[in-house]
Amino acid sequence: MPHLDLPFDPTCCLIDGVWSKPVAQETIELINPSDGQILCHIAKGGAADIDAAVLSSQTAFYGKWGHTPAADRGRALSKLGRLILENVEFLATLEALDVGKPLEQARADAVALARYMEFYGGASDKVHGETIPYQDGYTVYTLREAHGVTGHIIPWNYPMQIIGRSVGAALAMGNACVLKPAEEACLTALAFANLAIEAGLPKGALNVVPGLGPEAGAALCGHPGIHHMSFTGSVATGRRIQATAAQNVIPVTLELGGKSPQLVFEDADIDAALPFLVNAGIQNAGQTCSASSRILVHKSRYKEVTDRMAQRYSTLIVRPAKEDGDIGPLISVRQKAIVEGFLEKGSDLTLCAKGSLHPDAPKGGCYVLPHLFADVSADHALAQEEIFGPVQVLIPFETEAEVIAIANGTDYGLVASIWTKDGARQMRLAKKLRSGQIFVNNYGAGGGVELPFGGRGLSGHGREKGFEALYGFSSLKTVASYHG
Ligand code: NAI
Ligand code: MG
């Protein structure tokens, strides 16, 4: 086990401002997916720890944190953003070790986390209610109030970005948060919490309880003391979360991934598109909710796009995270098995190119080669189901109506992009595609924290990021005052 120099004890939960061992004193092994070795142990929190965390957050919400003026909340978040920026290298290194993502991508996530704190720090005092003209003798206005205690269950693929967009927005609105990070990758969540203490966030504003999903996660989601639940992860767990939250009739935000397409029309600038076509599929080894796993190409450009993507794929080298290649390992042996299962389901397809594994990559690492399949029919499992690995399918189309049907023809609807110079088509398609975000002649817009994000269909509901998240993390109250 390597020596990790951490400024906190990862076998502890952060409860009420104190790092404390879970009640059951148990731990979970954290694996470095680049070599399969144990990285360290983290706390295995359970229901009793969640109880303590929720109680602490309730106390904070009805006490100091709940009475902190919006401008001061914002100042604390802005300070946290500065501390994160000062610690980018440290955070990126932890994330690379824990998640297996190439250092450069981990660095971008750390900078994004800082950006979320800057954005939400600046926004916390800018969310206003309205006055509403009403009958004679009345003054009516609305107040935007925090929900109270918010629960946050996050996955392992982008811990920092997802903490930023959910915990950042919730804190900005004055909620007190209980965060349950993923059992597969948890170190940056703990490091974030440690920096939050340094930034002066009062105790209980943020509690963190690492643990298993069915234990700590289920206990948090079903806790009668929480008022809002934010979840990012699988559809199966999302369904469970929503059903559990229904028992306490609390709102949920669900972000459950997708099968996001890029539509390449006959007039597309292929030179400009190419890096996006490939990178959106292989970033974080394809373990991205908004990964673009379907490339839909007009027949007139199909061969050109296929050849050029195949050429790029044949140069992709999979390496350990610290070597900062195009692609690192997948998160776990389990995720590798899921993706290999899909590759098996694709054994009837035309494999047009794949990447290679660096010969020095450790044997125990969770490596899967990137695969590009051509001429895939739109109803094939690889064109319908979320793979969550470095696998993309190419599908040819002839008409605009046909490509709209293909693009909208999955159960998901998270992100879509349109590559065309035709302005009318850009606007038409932006309306017709069933998706939470649409990109025109780009993909992802650099991940902008300002841009509301969320899904339709099985991709989930509710919006995080941007100002929209602040509305989701608050409750609207209407006050009608009769004064004659
Ligand atoms: P998961 O949805 O089971 O795990 C995500 C989070 O939910 C983790 O923190 C986990 O501890 C928690 N969780 C699990 N079961 C729970 C329960 N019963 N109650 C409360 N919380 C619970 O996802 P998993 O197993 O890590 O990945 C499986 C698949 O899910 C992937 O192959 C991928 O397709 C999808 N996924 C999508 C993500 C996205 O960004 N939308 C992120 C992670 C996974
Ligand atoms: Mg790990």
pLDDT in tens, 142-200: 999 999 999 999 999 999 999 999 999 999 999 999 999 999 999 999 999 999 999 99
Q: Looking at the CA of residue 386, tell me the nearest atom of ligand 1.
A: 34
Q: How confident is the model at residue 3 (pLDDT cuts 50, 70, 90)?
A: low
User: What predicted TM-score, i.e. pTM, was given to this entire model?
Assistant: 0.98
With residue 414 as reference, give the H or E element that holds it.
Answer: none
Compute the distance from residue 424 Cα to the ligand 2 centre, in Å.
46
Q: Which two tokens stand for residue 399?
A: 């008409």
Q: How confident is the model at residue 1 (pLDDT cuts 50, 70, 90)?
A: low
Would you call 186 a catalytic residue per the annotation? Answer: no
> Can you tell me the mean pLDDT for 121-126?
98
Determine the topology of domain 13-256+461-478 in CATH. Answer: Aldehyde Dehydrogenase; Chain A, domain 1 (3.40.605)
Q: Which of 187, 215, 234, 461 maximizes ligand 1 atoms within 8 Å of its Cβ, making it the mutation to test the pocket?
A: 234
Q: Which residue's CA is minimally distant from atom 43 of ligand 1? A: 233
How far apart CA 162 and CA 253 sit, in angstroms, is: 12
Residue appearing with tokens 């929209």: 468
Ligand 1 site residues (CB inside 6 A) read 153-155, 157, 180, 182-183, 213-214, 217-218, 221, 232-234, 237, 240-241, 255-257, 289, 335, 338, 386, 388
Which ligand number lies closest to the CA of residue 39? Answer: 2
Q: Looking at the CA of residue 256, tell me the nearest atom of ligand 1.
A: 41
Q: What is the pLDDT of residue 4?
A: 86
Mapping DSSP onto H, E and C, the string for 257-320 reads CCCEEEEECCCCCHHHHHHHHHHHHHHHHHCCCCCEEEEEEEHHHHHHHHHHHHHHHCCCEECC
> Can you tell me the mean pLDDT for 377-388?
98
Q: Which residue's CA is minimally distant from atom 29 of ligand 1? A: 234
Amino acid present at 34 = S
- Helix, strand, or coil (residue 203): coil
> Can you tell me the mean pLDDT for 75-86?
98
Q: What is the pLDDT of residue 156?
A: 98
Taking alpha carbons only, the member of 187, 188, 228 closest to residue 57 is 228
Compute the distance from residue 32 Cα to the ligand 2 centre, in Å.
5
Q: Which residue's CA is minimally distant from atom 26 of ligand 1? A: 155
Give the chain's largest Cα–Cα span. Answer: 82
Q: Which residue's CA is minimally distant from atom 24 of ligand 1? A: 234
Compute the distance from residue 36 Cα to the ligand 2 centre, in Å.
9
Q: What is the pLDDT of residue 360?
A: 94
Point out the catalytic residue in the list 183, 255, 386, 464: 255
Q: Name the residues around ion ligand 2, CB cutoff 5 A.
A: 30-31, 98, 184-185
Burial degree of 16 (CB within 10 A; 0-12, 13-18, 19+): middle
Q: Which residue's CA is minimally distant from atom 11 of ligand 1? A: 213
How far apart CA 375 and CA 74 sit, in angstroms, is: 51
DSSP strands (E only) in 169-272: 176-180, 206-208, 228-232, 252-255, 260-264
Compute the distance from residue 331 Cα to the ligand 2 centre, in Å.
6
Q: How far is C-alpha 484 from the chain's CA centre? A: 51
Whether residue 132 is predicted with pLDDT greater than 70 in this model: the reply is yes
Q: What is the CATH number of domain 260-448?
A: 3.40.309.10
Which ligand number lies closest to the CA of residue 186? Answer: 2
Taking alpha carbons only, the member of 125, 84, 123 closest to residue 107 is 84
Residue appearing with tokens 């929190």: 45
Question: What does the DSSP 8-state code read for residue 52?
Answer: H
Q: Which residue's CA is minimally distant from atom 10 of ligand 1? A: 213
Would you call 352 a catalytic residue per the annotation? Answer: no
Q: Looking at the CA of residue 331, tell me the nearest atom of ligand 1.
A: 26
Mapping DSSP onto H, E and C, the string for 407-432 reads HCCCCCCCEEEEECCCHHHHHHHHHH
Q: Looking at the CA of residue 184, tell me the nearest atom of ligand 1.
A: 26
Q: Which residue's CA is minimally distant from atom 9 of ligand 1? A: 182
% pLDDT > 70, the chain:
99
Q: What is the pLDDT of residue 95?
A: 98
Contact between residue 37 and residue 1 where contact means Cβ atoms under 8 Å apart: yes
Taking alpha carbons only, the member of 315, 334, 338 closest to residue 325 is 315
- What residues does each domain of the chain span? 13-256+461-478, 260-448
How far apart CA 120 and CA 139 sit, in angstroms, is: 31
Q: Which two tokens stand for residue 357?
A: 């594994």
Which ligand number lies closest to the CA of residue 188? Answer: 2
Compute the distance from residue 443 Cα to the ligand 2 centre, in Å.
28
Whether residue 285 is predicted with pLDDT greater than 60 in this model: the reply is yes
Question: What does the DSSP 8-state code read for residue 437?
Answer: E
Which ligand number lies closest to the CA of residue 182? Answer: 1
The neighbouring-strand residues paired with 182 are 185
Per-residue model confidence as pLDDT tens digits over 288-327: 999 999 999 999 999 999 999 999 999 999 999 999 999 9
% pLDDT > 90, the chain:
99
Taking alpha carbons only, the member of 293, 285, 382, 363 closest to residue 330 is 285
Question: Helices 187-198 and 159-172 meet at what angle, rounded to 10?
Answer: 40
Mean pLDDT of the chain: 97
Q: Looking at the CA of residue 158, tell me the nearest atom of ligand 1.
A: 40
Q: Which of 237, 254, 284 maximizes ligand 1 atoms within 8 Å of its Cβ, making it the mutation to test the pocket?
A: 237
Question: What does the DSSP 8-state code read for residue 165?
Answer: H
Which ligand number lies closest to the CA of residue 335? Answer: 1
Q: What is the pLDDT of residue 2?
A: 59
Q: Which residues contact 450 (CB under 8 A, 6 or more apart)?
A: 119, 465, 466, 467
Compute the distance from residue 114 Cα to the ligand 2 centre, in Å.
22
Burial degree of 224 (CB within 10 A; 0-12, 13-18, 19+): exposed
Point out the catalytic residue in the list 289, 366, 386, 464: 289
Compute the distance from residue 160 Cα to the ligand 2 centre, in Å.
14
Compute the distance from residue 145 Cα to the ligand 2 centre, in Å.
37
Q: Which residues contact 427 (CB under 8 A, 6 or more apart)?
A: none
Per-residue model confidence as pLDDT tens digits over 5-51: 999 999 999 999 999 999 999 999 999 999 999 999 999 999 999 99
